[in-house]
Structure 1
């Protein structure tokens, strides 16, 4: 069972587990020809105006230290992707404090959808980078990028036939999963209303429990007991062949 996960806007600029960069660090990633993308990214970062940089990064004020890291993307230290991201879902997951076998599960089963690197294994080591969701640079656009490599990604995904989709909508649009896969997507309900923005927190909790209980199939997921989350219903959408698993957020 693959578990698909979104990245976060916020990323750690440094970490105790960082390792020294190496030439061609991206060569074992799932996406080929990344050097072309990274060369283009580097060229933009070193030539763009302040306003262009603010748009790319989605900020109102530039941080000089972070810009320096971005402009040296080929030389800055590397860190596991699962640790580089620092958003709500990743803090809920709390990877660093999980047992070793749970960390190994995540390294093996989780795939993260990067705005720059494409499909990443959780244990791929990446430098600090930043690209605001949906914002491109020069000829690069995330959705077009994923579309150009979709067949390669599907070939890799085909190693497993079941997928737990914990992605946000933007990344689902980047790579829609074909009906040949059995896909489960969680929907979180609180006070009889669908949780929207804070759903990323519960996705992190769900991933954490899957890792701790070594969930290998979607049928096992249906029987997984999670504190604070109660399964209300499981429904198949006949138009998409996707299965929605509804969780009630409980006190």
Structure 2
């Protein structure tokens, strides 16, 4: 089966449509960081809260000041909203494609760590790169989840669509494939987010189960420029042709 590693997004939808259930790798492994986050959010300390959320005005923090353990819950793949998720257009996909994403996408959250697309999470705010109290999320989750992720990914093909920052959470120890996008010969950044969302959408629509099947997938406006093999990593370089 193909497993896709994906980034979270700073933006999130509010609301709820799910009941509590066990997260990937269990909630207990996350308890220390979740408790620390919750204590800061409920502390009333405006400076600490602004620092955690990455906001300059306390008024901007209000939508996220909730008890994490008594908040409305939503599947991660639906909770996040940002460029990649805008282009994924989850809501417009068929039930089969949505189920595929919930089961086969691993998202690396700045608060929850590695979670499946179907794992339900609260509406939270941790600015990328920020610590939660004295805890660095990347180090915290790399220590606690690397072995479990190694086991989970055994026997599966892996397509790593994460932004480079999230390599800090987990370094793959098996062969994997990444993508790079060029426009007019130059690497793109903003549009890379968009095309990661587009690629994930097309994979879900087609129900792609292996990297071999992925290589046969035709994606509009993308042409393979070259494929670079380096140790465990295979990088597919695409030209964006519009």
The two structures have a TM-score, normalised by structure 2, of 0.92
Q: Is the 8 A contact 2:222 2:240 kept in 1?
A: yes
2:185 is equivalent to residue 185 of structure 1: no
Match of 2:36 in 1: 40
Q: Between 32-41 and 224-233, report the one with greater CA deviation.
A: 32-41
Match of 1:84 in 2: 79
CA deviation profile, 1:52-71 (whole Å, cap 9, x unmatched): 222211112233531433xx
After TM superposition, give the deviation of residue 5 of structure 1 in Å. Answer: 0.3
* Counterparts of residues 1-251 of structure 1 (less than 5 Å): 1-14=2-15, 18-19=17-18, 22=20, 25=21, 27-31=22-26, 32-47=28-43, 49-62=45-58, 63=60, 65-69=62-66, 72-149=67-144, 150-160=146-156, 162-178=157-173, 181-238=174-231, 241-251=232-242
Q: Is the 8 A contact 2:142 2:168 kept in 1?
A: no
Change (3 A) 1:204 1:67: closer
Distance 2:35 2:208 in 1: 39
After TM superposition, give the deviation of residue 147 of structure 1 in Å. Answer: 1.9
After TM superposition, give the deviation of residue 174 of structure 1 in Å. Answer: 1.8
Unaligned runs of 5+ in 2: none
Change (3 A) 1:90 1:3: same
RMSD, matched Cα:
1.6
CA deviation profile, 1:128-180 (whole Å, cap 9, x unmatched): 111111111223211211221211221222242x21000001101221101xx
Count matched residues. 238
